[in-house]
Amino acid sequence: MASNPFSLEGKVALVTGANTGLGQGIALALAAAGADIAAAGIVPADETGEKVKALGRRFLNIEANLISIEPVERIVAETVAGLGGLDILVNNAGLIRRADAVDFSEKDWDDVMNVNIKSAFFMSQAAGKHFIAQGRGKIINIASMLSFQGGIRVPSYTASKSGIAGITRLLANEWAAKGVNINAIAPGYMATDNTAQLRADEDRNKAILDRIPAARWGEPADLGGTAVFLSSAASDYVNGAVIPVDGGWLAR
């Protein structure tokens, strides 16, 4: 093992949905550990790119709408061509739609499932072909507290994040012996655009904070250490894990 097993020097990481929030926090943590970053998403990650470059790392922006799987092969190919390789994939891009289950629409079901689970699987497949061929690679899926719990008013989000936990284990079973580590991070309640409605609801905000032992909402930077660990040689014997980063929510 390297003298610093957490170093990502010389590595290339592809992060989907890295323009803001959790994806941006993860991309910056990986860049600070030494990785060059490709960001793929429907919204250009210009701010993320500026911050990555300020850390002395290379940055590649790839515009792609992951509500369809059509661009996944192109995203991997552009990353390899633009940055000279691919070592790490972070499936972070995600959607959430809120409505009572009795009123939930087919479109809201399909849109969320297409981005959150279908695109994550096929991004993993495209990157996995590259990783298996080179004999090494790291895939990090972004799960959720709702990979463990049911939630309310987010049926497609709950289904997709439960699926992420299952797909993470399935891919680990198939690819661990091929040198590919597949794991997931399950963020707790994070202060991002996806939770703006919850934080604006005084009663829901209080109920959430009352259950979190750390007594605060998480920040995107809180995922950085776990993302670096799962991307680095330090996690070479970690396979199929879903690691909560939740301020103690699940322990309560």
Residue 2: per-residue pLDDT? 61
The pTM for the full model equals: 0.96
Q: In this predicted structure, what is the pLDDT of residue 66?
A: 97
Our answer to whether residue 157 is catalytic in this structure is yes
Q: Which of the residues 59, 122, 131, 157 is marked catalytic?
A: 157
Q: Which portions of the chain are predicted below pLDDT 50?
A: none
Determine the Cα–Cα distance for residues 207 and 192; give it in Å rounded to an integer.
Answer: 18
Q: Which of these CATH numbers, 2.40.430.10, 3.40.50.720, 1.10.10.10, 3.50.50.60, describes 12-244?
A: 3.40.50.720
| Domain definitions of the chain by residue range | 12-244
Contacts of 135 (CB under 8 A, 6+ apart): 178, 179
**What are the tens digits of pLDDT across the range 179-231?**
999 999 999 999 998 788 889 999 999 999 999 999 999 999 999 999 999 99
Q: Which of 142, 132, 124 is nearest to 226 (CA)?
A: 142
pLDDT at 197: 86
